[in-house]
Amino acid sequence: MKKYIEPISIAFIACGLLACFAPIRILATEPLPRPNVLFIAIDDLRSDLGALGVPHAKTPQLDAFASTARLFRRHYVQVPTCGASRCALWRGQYPSLGSQVGNGGIASTHAKWGERSLPALFRQNGYQTLAIGKLTHHPGGLTGKNWAEGPEELPGAWDRAWIPDGPWKTPEAIMHGYADGEARKPGKSPAWQAKDGPDEAYPDAWVAKEAVATLTQLASQKQPWFFGVGFFKPHLPFAAPKKWHDLHASGIPDLTPNAATKPNWPSSWHASGEFRGNYGHEAGRNPDSDAAYARLLRGAYAASVSYMDAQVGRVLAALQELQIDNNTIVIVWSDHGFLLGEHAIWGKHCLYEHALRTPMLIRYPGMPNPGTPSDTVVETVDLYPTLADLCSLPAPKELDGRSLRPQLIDPTTNEHKPATSFWTDGQRSVRTDRWRLIAQHRNDGTEQRLELFDYETDPNETKNLTVDHPEVVRELLTHLQRMPNPTARRQ
């Protein structure tokens, strides 16, 4: 049995892995230096953690970490696609240009804001900034041929941005990596894979290994650091060693028929273009009509989650074993979720709950009530002011978010600020404690389409209640009128 963390207080045993996280050690007799930051970014992880009460994918490492951190159970991203979500993260702002709702937004607009980005702020204030794996849209931070050449995606932000050594020849190949260096063939490669081999057969084990080696080097230096570690899974393809697929062999629960049905009202449904266009499907199999294939894909997604979870555990264990956890803030964040057949969608790229709600966990030294979750509605743009606050750095005035220090001190603090999300063609969404409104607007402010959901009575979003609750629609539209509309259709 391989021990990731020495048993101290709470044991989590699953799949031959033992993970425990000790309480943060605080030195009371001498002041600590400026805190380090370990920022772990995960790609396409929806809110299906055991710690969130959704044990479809087995996540013992993240569940154990949640017992030492503040888990935000209602965190929402700004845009349901990789590059745009990360653009909002590093800007600390809602998208204001159409390109910032697409994957190229960081590269095409950084000249306007890059010098005040979150990693640049840390770098300008004496921190060493490092990024391994996928932290912006392009792993390694370059945007040229195969993402292996310049120009930089976010110039001036990182002292070093790179991908780990491994059998994949380019950053683009590792992003969509299959086993042992195999690259994706768009439209032909399968949507899932299960090679009977070690964790190192797939990319995330290489990210974890390089992250552990880097932490070992950082442990001996006096300069504070901001270290971003970006994992690739569970992003398509759902590819992981066979042992992680075997872990879920008993099956993932099927969706109820009403949850898996295409909406019967004018909606923001889409045809799952990434899933159907970028990957091949054996004998034309369609998960909408083939229940066995749908079950297989949900299990493969869960396998990818558990594989990634084990790699995150290796990094968190190293932080503790190197005894630098007592002065390190740790963030675990996912850029967006993924629908696994809900609304007959296989993918993200929409404004429904499973595309926008993702896990977010924060731990800082001396945090009160660790392990108690927060149910406050929070957004990705809140991370920038939170980290600036915790590290006593001057936050730019342009930021759209708020510091979450009150919720970190007292998880019962509930500030009533809705979460706003954006998508193409003038689509925006506002999420409150109870309601979500999805609206598509023209440039003149008129609505082309409205969808309203009540999560108290309909958590699966099966009924559009716009006609039933016009007063709620009016209230939420008032909020959206104050928000940018970067992709509104012109008349």
Put residue 11 in one of left, alpha, beta given phi > 0 → left and psi -120 to 50 → alpha: beta
Q: How many CA atoms lie within 13 A of 37 on its CB side?
A: 28
Give the contacts of 425 (CB within 8 A, at least 6 positions apart).
440, 487, 489
Q: Where are the alpha helices (DSSP H) in 323-382?
A: 353-356
pTM score = 0.93
DSSP letters spanning 52-103: GT-TTS--HHHHHHHTTSEEETTEE-SSSSHHHHHHHHHHTS---SGGGGST
Q: Where are the alpha helices (DSSP H) in 329-430?
A: 353-356, 383-390, 405-409
Are the C-beta atoms of 386 and 403 separated by less than 8 Å? yes
Per-residue pLDDT of the chain (491 residues; tens, 9 = 90+): 333 333 333 333 344 433 444 444 444 445 568 999 999 999 999 998 999 998 889 999 999 999 999 999 999 999 999 999 999 999 999 999 999 999 999 999 999 999 999 999 999 999 999 999 999 999 999 999 999 999 999 999 999 999 999 999 999 999 999 999 999 999 999 999 999 999 999 999 999 999 999 999 999 999 999 999 999 999 999 999 999 999 999 878 899 999 999 999 999 999 999 999 999 998 889 999 999 999 999 999 999 999 999 999 999 999 999 999 999 999 999 999 999 999 999 999 999 999 999 999 999 999 999 999 999 999 999 999 999 999 999 999 999 999 999 999 999 998 889 999 999 999 999 999 999 999 998 767 677 899 999 999 999 999 999 999 999 999 999 999 999 999 986 54
For residues 300-316, one letter each, b for 16 or more C-beta atoms within 10 angstroms of the residue's C-beta and e for the rest, the string is bbbbbbbbbbbbbbbbb
Q: Measured between alpha carbons, how far is 453 from 462 in angstroms, rounded to an integer?
A: 8
How far is the CA of 114 from the CAs of 92, 110, 121, 123, 202, in angstroms? 11, 5, 10, 12, 32
For residues 128-159, one letter each, b for 16 or more C-beta atoms within 10 angstroms of the residue's C-beta and e for the rest, the string is bbbbbbbbbbbbbbbbeeebbeeebbbbebbe
Q: Measured between alpha carbons, how far is 128 from 120 in angstroms, rounded to an integer?
A: 10
Q: Which two tokens stand for residue 337?
A: 């979720």
In the three-class reduction of DSSP (H, G, I as helix; E, B as strand; rest coil), residue 451 is classed as strand
Q: Measured between alpha carbons, how far is 428 from 94 in angstroms, rounded to an integer?
A: 11
For 42, other C-beta atoms within 10 Å of its C-beta total 26
Q: Measured between alpha carbons, how far is 331 from 39 in angstroms, rounded to an integer?
A: 5
Q: Which residues are catalytic?
A: 82, 137
Residue 422 dihedral angles phi and psi, to the nearest 5°? -135, 145
In the three-class reduction of DSSP (H, G, I as helix; E, B as strand; rest coil), residue 115 is classed as helix
Q: Which two tokens stand for residue 93?
A: 């702002």
Q: Which two tokens stand for residue 393?
A: 């750095």
Q: Measured between alpha carbons, how far is 362 from 90 in angstroms, rounded to an integer?
A: 17
Give the contacts of 309 (CB within 8 A, at least 6 positions apart).
57, 58, 59, 60, 61, 62
Q: What share of the chain is helix, strand, coil (3-state, %, to 5)?
A: 30, 20, 50
* Domains present along the chain, CATH in parentheses: 35-417 (3.40.720.10), 425-491 (3.30.1120.10)
Q: Which two tokens stand for residue 6?
A: 């020495």
Angle subtended at Cα 40 by Cα 54 and Cα 60, rounded to the nearest 5 degrees: 35
In the three-class reduction of DSSP (H, G, I as helix; E, B as strand; rest coil), residue 371 is classed as coil
Query: Closest Cα to residue 22, out of 64, 62, 63?
Result: 64
